[in-house]
Amino acid sequence: MARVYYTTPIYYVNDKPHIGHAYTSLATDVLARWKRLEGHEVFFLTGTDEHGQKVERAAQEAGMAPQAFTDQVSQSFRLLAERMGYSNDDFIRTTEPRHRQACQALWEELVRRDEIYLGHYEGWYAVRDEAFYGPDELTERDGVKYAPSGAPVAWVKEPSYFFRLSKWQDWLLRFYEENPGFIAPASRRNEVISFVKSGLQDLSISRTSFTWGIPVPGDPAHVMYVWLDALTNYITAAGYPDPQAPRWGFWPADVHFVGKDIVRFHAIYWPAFLAAAGLAPPRRVFAHGWWTIEGQKMSKSLGNAIDPLKLIEEYGLDPLRYFLLREVPFGNDGDFSRAALIGRVNGELADTLGNLANRTLSLIQRNCEGRLPAPAEGAPGDAELLAGIAALPGAVAAHLEAQEFHLALEAIMAQARGANGYITVQQPWALRKTDPARMAVVLRHLHSALRVFATVLQPFMPGTMAGMLEQLGVPEQARGLAALAAPLPEGTPLPPPAPLFRKIEEAPAPKGAA
């Protein structure tokens, strides 16, 4: 089995978390949980990005010192991770001593390799994005210039250290060509390649106009550019600069999950920084899309950002986890709609999966003395069901490897719908009188199908599927993927079934409601 390393972006602490933050980390969590089910050793990292001018300003507006402000907001992201049920192995903060040490070590290595030089910077800078932009990228309205993100920019002139990014342009283009899966989805890959081909300038990587950051080694009048600082978190947590650190064997990361607005930093700057320091780049950067809310763009002015903790209280944790990855192809933009969430919960979780489990387990309770029937060979009428459930773990694995979360869930639901069709055709309630031996076979096959569904759904809905596996009589040590090859013994006692999902009867909230 392999070592696997997945990361979320580290979240910027200038505001409280919203549904977009929950979404990115959820995808990372599901993939990490799946790899653990496969038997791999997994390292899953999340955390908070706490330096930079934007955080310094947000702290001033809150009337707080930057460290106290970041302590408070970082805790809200830690709470989100706990409440969303993420299985992260570490939570990193860029204000930690270990991170300062790693950043300064990386800086010194880049200096040693002559990848950094001192100059001065003049150009357009967006505080909101913590990013520099060329004049050809800007638009102007009412005398104010704006970045492509919509953030206002200001002209900045100050001394600055530069990273020789232009030197790495050809190397990056070769790297993208040799590693076609490095950037996903394809639309983001094309965007990055086009940007690099248009010409890279050396990158300003220090600032002197504010102090909330990691001091540049040997020149504390400068603090490191927030993106050099932030990106380094991925190797900080792996133990850099100590090659003997226990986690260093996880590097390079298998997937960095990021929002599409920060793909440039992860797919251009980060591999260039690493290559320049003699380190391996990550294997993949996957940039997902943005959520709108009931058809409207999420924004402070509209006040429509959704607090995921309130959604958990309203609909339950596992239904929310399921919906977020079921509704929209990962990588595309999507709309968060309460009506859509209710439709998925009622139609797929309650009616399709929950009802199948309840019918099957109730029939076993009533007709088999609450004990699992013996394993049985499939008759011709069973072939489609048995073939489908046998192939399902492999199909789910292939979709998750490609970060196709919605297709993995559709594959599971397709088999669950098939199992509902099977129980309707076979009518085990009628077979009790006409052919009790055949009834036992049918119920055993349905139990086997439910065990597969519950096993492969564990990463998506860990709490509910633990309950389902309990009802199915599957012991904790037999809930991995490999254990599916070993049938449960005949006569395994099954507890009385209880509903796994509640149907939501309430009407969706008014449009634009938070």
DSSP 313-359: HHH-HHHHHHHHHHSS-BTB-EEE-HHHHHHHIIIIIIIIIIHHHHH
Query: Phi-psi region for residue 334, left (φ > 0), alpha (ψ -120 to 50) or beta?
Result: beta
In this prediction, residue 306 carries a pLDDT of 79
CA distance 78 to 55: 18
Residues 157 and 243 in one domain: yes
Same structural domain, 93 and 228: yes
User: At residue 454, what are phi and psi to the nearest 5 degrees?
Assistant: -65, -35
> 15 to each of 12, 55, 69, 109, 262, how far by Cα in Å?
8, 9, 10, 33, 17
The answer to whether the beta carbons of residues 340 and 297 sit under 8 Å apart is: no
How far is residue 499 from each of residues 217, 242, 300, 368, 475, measured CA to CA in Å? 60, 51, 39, 20, 20
Residue 94 and residue 47: Cα distance in Å, rounded?
A: 8
CA 333 distance to own-chain centroid:
15
Whether 276 and 388 map to the same domain: the answer is no
Per DSSP, 493 falls in state B
Whole-number pLDDT of residue 178: 98
> Other C-beta atoms within 10 Å of 54: how many?
22
Tokens of 333: 């933009």
C-alpha span between 508 and 323 (Å, rounded):
15
Residue at a domain's end among 231, 264, 289 = 289
**In a shared domain, residues 160 and 23:** yes
How is residue 265 annotated by DSSP? Answer: I
Angle between helices 308-315 and 66-83 (to 10 degrees): 30
Contact present, 70 and 55 (Cβ < 8 Å): yes
Predicted pLDDT at 303 = 63
Nearest alpha-carbon partner for 184 in 65, 34, 330, 298: 330
- Compute mean pLDDT per 10 residues along the chain, 514 residues long, and list them: 94 83 94 98 97 90 94 94 97 98 98 96 86 88 91 90 98 98 95 97 93 96 95 98 97 96 96 98 93 70 74 95 92 86 96 97 97 90 95 98 96 98 97 96 97 98 98 97 96 95 72 44
Residues contacting 377, CB < 8 A, separation 6+: none
Same domain, 396 and 453: yes
For residues 392 and 263, membership in a common domain is answered with no
Given a contact cutoff of 8 angstroms between Cβ atoms, the answer to whether 117 and 72 are in contact is no
10 near 233, Cβ under 8 Å?
yes
Residue 355 and residue 449 in one domain: yes
Three-class DSSP category at 246 = coil
Q: What share of the chain is helix, strand, coil (3-state, %, to 5)?
A: 50, 15, 35
Same domain for 179 and 103:
yes
Q: Is 137 found in the same domain as 58? A: yes
3-state SS assignment for residue 161:
strand
> Residue 56: which CATH number?
3.40.50.620
Q: Which pTM value belongs to this model?
A: 0.91
Q: Judge whether 173 lies within some domain.
A: yes
Residue 494 lies in a domain: no
- Which residue, among 195, 188, 196, 266, has the nearest Cα to 10 in the 3D structure? 266
Residue 62 CA to residue 66 CA, distance in Å, equals: 10
Q: Is residue 496 part of a domain?
A: no
Q: Does 329 map to a domain?
A: no
Cα 89 versus chain centre, distance? 14
One domain, residues 227 and 344: no
**pLDDT for residue 1:** 79
- On whether residue 305 sits in a domain, the answer given is no
- Residues 66/71/74/78 CA torsion (nearest 10 deg): 180
What whole-number distance in Å separates Cα of residue 255 and Cα of residue 331? 14
Do 250 and 391 belong to one domain?
no
183-184 vs 285-288, strand pairing mode: parallel
- Strand order across the 334-336 sheet: 296-297, 291-293, 334-336
CA distance 199 to 270: 17
Cis upstream peptide for 17 (omega within 30°): no
What is the DSSP-derived secondary structure letter of residue 502? P
Q: Which residues form the domain of 395?
A: 338-485
220 and 117 within one domain: yes
pLDDT for the residue numbered 493? 97
Is 300 part of any domain? no
Indicate the number of domains in the chain: 2
Cα 235 → chain centroid: 19
Instruction: Enter the tokens of residue 104.
Output: 């300064």
Q: Is residue 67 part of a domain?
A: yes
What's the CATH number where 418 sits? 1.10.730.10
CA distance 112 to 126: 30
- Label the pairing between strands 41-49 and 90-93: parallel
Is residue 327 in some structural domain? Answer: no
